[in-house]
Amino acid sequence: MPRNLQALMLPRVQGLPNRQVQNRINRVIQTQLRQVLKELNYGRPDVNVYPSFANTANENGVSSSYTDIYGYQQKAAHGLTIRRSFTFNLATGRLYQLSDLFQPNSDYIERISAIVKEQIAEQNLPLLRPFERITPNQGYYLESENLVIYFQTYDYTPYYLGIPEFRIPYAAIADILAPNSPIRRIMRS
């Protein structure tokens, strides 16, 4: 496995008409993924990393994706996967945080947390600690019909479950979406 960051295949956006926006988006992605590589001790001779990428929505000028980076230190019992997700406006390069999707004072945290709690109970997921609520800018990505909330390995669930994901249909949150939410743009496609 290559040891330098230049040789490691990390995702990049290509083909946007505005090169400045494209470069801005790529800087954000590269900066965040390099931080993950540091967390996984990439660069040490006994550490291997394996990135994977998924583009989950690319509609009406909105792109949503995530990158999982699996890191394994030789002689360890197992590796660890860390996920970073990105939802961008492809015209401006704006990176949307979860809070940007919703109307101010909409109490999206409580609404989404309640749905996640329901799904935890329905799936009978074993928890390492009780789930109370998501954070204001919880990890998420968008699909054609769902907002997907995820947690890192060990945040709430044991290692063998991987990265838990919770799909929330847009219809369940449509009334609290911000007028310029990227979800509204995806719903129109």
Strand-pair partners of 98: none
CA–CA separation, 15 and 167 (whole Å): 30
- Please give the residue that has the higher pLDDT: either 30 or 2: 30
pLDDT at res. 7: 57
> Which fold would CATH assign to domain 1-95?
Heat Shock Protein 90 (3.30.565)
Q: What are φ and ψ of residue 55, in 5° steps? A: -95, 115
Q: Where are the domains of the chain?
A: 1-95, 97-189
Q: Which of 66, 155, 149 has the alpha carbon at shortest distance from 112?
A: 149
What is the percentage of the chain residues whose pLDDT exceeds 70?
A: 96
To the question of domain 97-189 being in CATH 3.10.520.10, the answer is: no
109: pLDDT strictly greater than 50: yes
* Mean pLDDT score of the chain: 94
CA–CA separation, 61 and 177 (whole Å): 18
Which amino acid belongs to residue 12?
Answer: R
pLDDT in tens, 60-102: 999 999 999 999 999 988 999 999 999 999 999 999 999 999 9
CA–CA separation, 109 and 75 (whole Å): 40
- Please give the residue that has the higher pLDDT: either 20 or 8: 20
Quickly state the pLDDT bin for 9 (edges 50, 70, 90): confident
Strand-pair partners of 69: 51, 82
> Does the predicted TM-score (pTM) go above 0.85?
yes
- CA-based radius of gyration for the chain: 18
Q: Given this chain, do its domains 1-95 and 97-189 carry the same CATH topology?
A: no
Strand-pair partners of 55: 65
CA–CA separation, 97 and 134 (whole Å): 13
- From the CB of residue 71, how many other CB atoms can be counted at a distance below 10 Å? 21
pLDDT in tens, 128-153: 999 999 999 899 999 999 999 999 99
